[in-house]
């Protein structure tokens, strides 16, 4: 295929993928060639007659697979952001092949011997700090992949990896298919309680789907506002149950059998490597280190959160009785009555607040915060190809005007885009053979409307993903394996979560929270009420999150998992921890993509809370300094964003904060203890 763009040099600025010339039929041949090239590169490393050294082994492996990386980065970003039937079919075909390819390299005995030899002599090699860490982490990666096992066990590890890749792919595609197909069409009589911006977004969703009237979808930006504002309890129940049952319908796209197989195969992987459970295996290479540490963290919030949630529920029930509803609060009632209580308690009306949180203004607020903290600027580029008209592209530069990379912002929900919000990259920063600048993308799922208005939480999510984006854009490392967000899972959320704090800085809100129609800044009284309400409903938020983290551990800490009924297992676990009946877990197993559409957060969903200990304690340093933009603290914080995986994460944190983190600021932030004196 001579016109395949993956077989040509890209002459676009910054090496931006030429999306206008890339089509699904280009990927199979590009994957095949990329895998063949990398295998040849690895074979050359193994066959080298010279004894192993850092250059001919570690750096040579770092250079391998560049063609494969290029096609894989484009492909898997598209299957997340803008997929179609053709891409889905290719993904089902190539996911196991790519897993097999990766394991062939990870289990290559000759390659492992060279790394093992270097590892044994690592302190005599005169390596720089980043090189020593790269060698140690690479060697650990081989061990954790099974390179040190007997031949039969290595062969089984490869089989497990290949099968899991297929299961992960099917799981994610099944969830997306449910999200694509389901919709709730509304007539004019079904709009009671819905604010104007949600009505406008529902009308836009109806137009996109070719339906008259209004449509609620299973995008979080559609479903959650409907649950918050719809006066129709019957419709709230329909939406809630559809939202929580994604991936859990009997038939060809039922994820529940996949979960049982995934959990069993992961456990087999761990036991082959000598661990008692998959959680033991996964946490051994984390900041937390073991299940006991994770449980200790979750226990510190679980009971206080349940107590606070019970107090919140009592207030909701009183509000419901005042309106004539005498039934117990159900999960589809919580957001609706919480909004009523919030409005009464803080004189806050979401319909009054949202006009001050226009999407474009919040994007500018994020850019301005990055400039004030880290000296980076964003200039829009309209001359580059994009994969969808929604995508906006920005050139990123440092304080001296030197280019740092490209930032792609893809903010709107649409069919073919998975739900949630995430950061990814089309190219990672590195400097091994000269500077390579990153191409980073943020995906959000905001409901399109004119104007597009965000909730306070939506704006926090935008800042959160932008924090991940900055982690990729500010990276300043030598080797690609250490670039940007390539850090331990329970540290990767710190740069994103700490950045959220600047969205709620009064200075930021006074400047950028402006009425979408008049341009007037948010009134000071409204601003203060908004900030006063930040801890409202935190019992609910902590319970729904922590329940999912505890379910994750329950799936993965068993020594011999044999889960035949996923819903019965979930029900039993929730009963064991005393889950309030009025609250559902943030993620039900059948759509829990963090766990089962890939292994990244498996036995690791606790990471958001672990990182929140760091971010609450870290931002407290700025509060103690009396300046959210304190230059000295900002410079030390920037060191974390630039370091990638060149240093131990706790060492990075202590260098920034001057001491290890404390949990008290987290508990205060979530309103689970009285404020610190």
Residue 28 has pLDDT above 80, yes or no: yes
pLDDT in tens, 616-627: 999 999 999 999
pLDDT, mean of residues 246-260 = 94
* pLDDT for residue 562: 87
Domain presence at residue 470: no
Q: Which residue has the tokens 């053979």?
A: 433
CA distance 432 to 334: 53
**Cα angle, residue 472 at apex, residues 134 and 17 outer, rounded to 5°:** 105
Of 162, 465, 557, 612, catalytic: 465
CA distance 227 to 220: 10
Same domain, 76 and 194: no
Domain presence at residue 485: no
CA distance 677 to 660: 20
* CA 325 from centroid of its chain's CA atoms: 38
Neighbour-count burial of 570, counting CB atoms closer than 10 A to its CB (0-12 exposed, 13-18 middle, 19+ buried): buried
Residue 575, domain extent? 256-348+538-605
Q: Are 498 and 608 in contact (CB under 8 A)?
A: no
* pLDDT for residue 141: 98
Same domain, 232 and 133: no
Same domain, 136 and 11: yes
Q: Where are the alpha helices (DSSP H) in 19-126?
A: 27-47, 60-63, 66-81, 85-106, 109-120
Q: Which of 244, 264, 293 is the last residue of a domain?
A: 244
Same domain, 224 and 196: yes
Q: What is the mean pLDDT of the chain?
A: 96
pLDDT, mean of residues 203-209 = 94
pLDDT, mean of residues 554-581 = 95
Domain presence at residue 582: yes
Same domain, 13 and 130: yes
Same domain, 74 and 203: no
Q: What domain count does the chain have?
A: 3
- Is residue 25 flagged as an active site residue? no
pTM for this model (two decimals): 0.95
Q: Which of 145, 170, 192 is the last residue of a domain?
A: 145
CA distance 655 to 639: 9
* pLDDT for residue 2: 66
pLDDT in tens, 124-150: 999 999 999 999 999 999 999 999 999
Structure tokens at 196: 């104007």
Task: Give the total residue count for the chain.
Answer: 677
CATH number at residue 92: 1.20.1050.40
Domain presence at residue 529: no
Domain presence at residue 583: yes
* pLDDT for residue 674: 60
Q: Which residue has the tokens 């129609």?
A: 517
Domain presence at residue 176: no
Domain presence at residue 564: yes
- Give me the percent of the chain exceeding a pLDDT of 70: 99
Residue 527 has pLDDT above 70, yes or no: yes
Same domain, 11 and 136: yes
CA dihedral 309, 315, 317, 318 (to 10 degrees): 170
Same domain, 17 and 40: yes
CA distance 106 to 142: 6
CATH number at residue 289: 1.10.1370.10
CA distance 73 to 93: 17
């Amino acid at each position: 295929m001579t016109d395949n763009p993956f077989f040509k040099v890209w002459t676009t600025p910054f090496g931006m993928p030429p999306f206008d010339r890339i089509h699904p039929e280009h990927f199979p041949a590009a994957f095949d060639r990329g895998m063949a090239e990398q295998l040849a590169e690895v074979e050359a490393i193994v066959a080298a007659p010279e004894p192993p050294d850092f250059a001919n082994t570690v750096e040579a492996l770092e250079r391998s697979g560049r063609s494969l990386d290029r096609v894989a980065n484009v492909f898997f970003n598209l299957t997340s952001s803008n997929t179609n039937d053709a891409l889905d079919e290719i993904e089902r075909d190539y996911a196991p092949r790519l897993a097999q390819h990766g394991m062939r390299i990870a289990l290559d005995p000759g390659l492992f011997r060279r790394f093992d030899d270097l590892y044994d002599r690592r302190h005599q090699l005169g390596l720089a700090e980043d090189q020593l860490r790269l060698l140690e982490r690479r060697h650990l990666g081989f061990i954790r992949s099974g390179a040190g096992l007997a031949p039969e066990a290595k062969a089984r590890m490869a089989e497990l990896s290949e099968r899991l890749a297929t299961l992960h792919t099917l799981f994610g595609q099944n969830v997306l298919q449910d999200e694509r197909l389901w919709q709730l069409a509304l007539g004019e009589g079904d709009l009671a309680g819905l604010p104007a911006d949600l009505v406008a977004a529902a009308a836009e969703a109806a137009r996109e789907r070719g339906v008259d009237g209004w449509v609620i979808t299973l995008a979080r930006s559609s479903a959650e506002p409907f649950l918050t504002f719809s006066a129709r309890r019957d419709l709230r129940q329909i939406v809630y149950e559809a939202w929580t049952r994604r991936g859990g319908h009997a038939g060809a796209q039922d994820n529940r059998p996949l979960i049982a197989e995934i959990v069993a195969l992961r456990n087999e992987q761990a036991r082959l490597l000598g661990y008692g459970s998959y959680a033991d295996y996964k946490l051994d290479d984390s900041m937390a280190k073991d299940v006991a540490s994770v449980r200790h963290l979750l226990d510190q919030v679980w009971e206080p959160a349940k107590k606070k949630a019970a107090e919140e529920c009592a207030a909701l029930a009183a509000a419901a009785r005042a309106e004539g509803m005498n039934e117990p609060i159900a999960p589809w009632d919580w957001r609706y009555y919480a909004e009523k209580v919030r409005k009464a308690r803080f004189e806050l009306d979401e319909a009054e607040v949202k006009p001050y949180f226009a999407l474009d203004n919040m994007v500018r607020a994020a850019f301005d915060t990055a400039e004030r903290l880290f000296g980076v600027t964003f200039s829009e580029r309209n001359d580059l190809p994009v994969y969808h008209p929604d995508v906006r592209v920005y050139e990123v530069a440092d304080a001296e005007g030197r280019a740092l990379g490209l930032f792609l912002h893809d903010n709107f929900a649409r069919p073919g885009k998975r739900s949630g919000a995430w950061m990814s990259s089309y190219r990672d920063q590195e400097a091994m053979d000269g500077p390579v600048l990153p191409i980073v993308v943020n995906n959000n799922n905001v409901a399109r409307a004119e104007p597009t208005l965000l909730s306070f939480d939506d704006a926090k999510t935008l800042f959160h993903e932008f924090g991940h984006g900055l982690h990729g854009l500010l990276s300043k490392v030598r080797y690609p394996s250490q670039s940007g967000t390539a850090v331990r899972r329970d540290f990767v959320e710190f740069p994103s979560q700490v950045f959220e704090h600047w969205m709620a800085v009064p200075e930021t809100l006074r400047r950028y929270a402006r009425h979408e129609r008049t341009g007037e800044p948010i009134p000071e009284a409204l601003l203060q009420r908004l900030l006063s309400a930040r801890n409202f409903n935190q019992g609910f938020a902590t319970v729904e999150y922590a329940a999912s983290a505890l379910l994750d551990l329950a799936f993965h800490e068993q020594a011999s998992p044999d889960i035949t009924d996923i819903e019965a297992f979930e029900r039993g676990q929730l009963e064991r921890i005393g889950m309030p009946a009025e609250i559902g877990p943030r993620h039900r197993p059948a759509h829990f993509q963090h766990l089962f559409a890939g292994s990244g957060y498996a036995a690791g969903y606790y990471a958001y809370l672990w990182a929140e200990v760091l971010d609450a304690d870290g931002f407290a340093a700025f509060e103690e300094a009396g300046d959210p933009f304190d230059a000295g603290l900002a410079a030390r914080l920037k060191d974390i964003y630039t370091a990638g995986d060149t240093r131990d994460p706790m060492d990075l944190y202590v260098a920034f904060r001057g001491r290890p983190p404390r949990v008290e600021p987290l508990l205060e932030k979530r309103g689970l203890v009285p404020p610190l004196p």
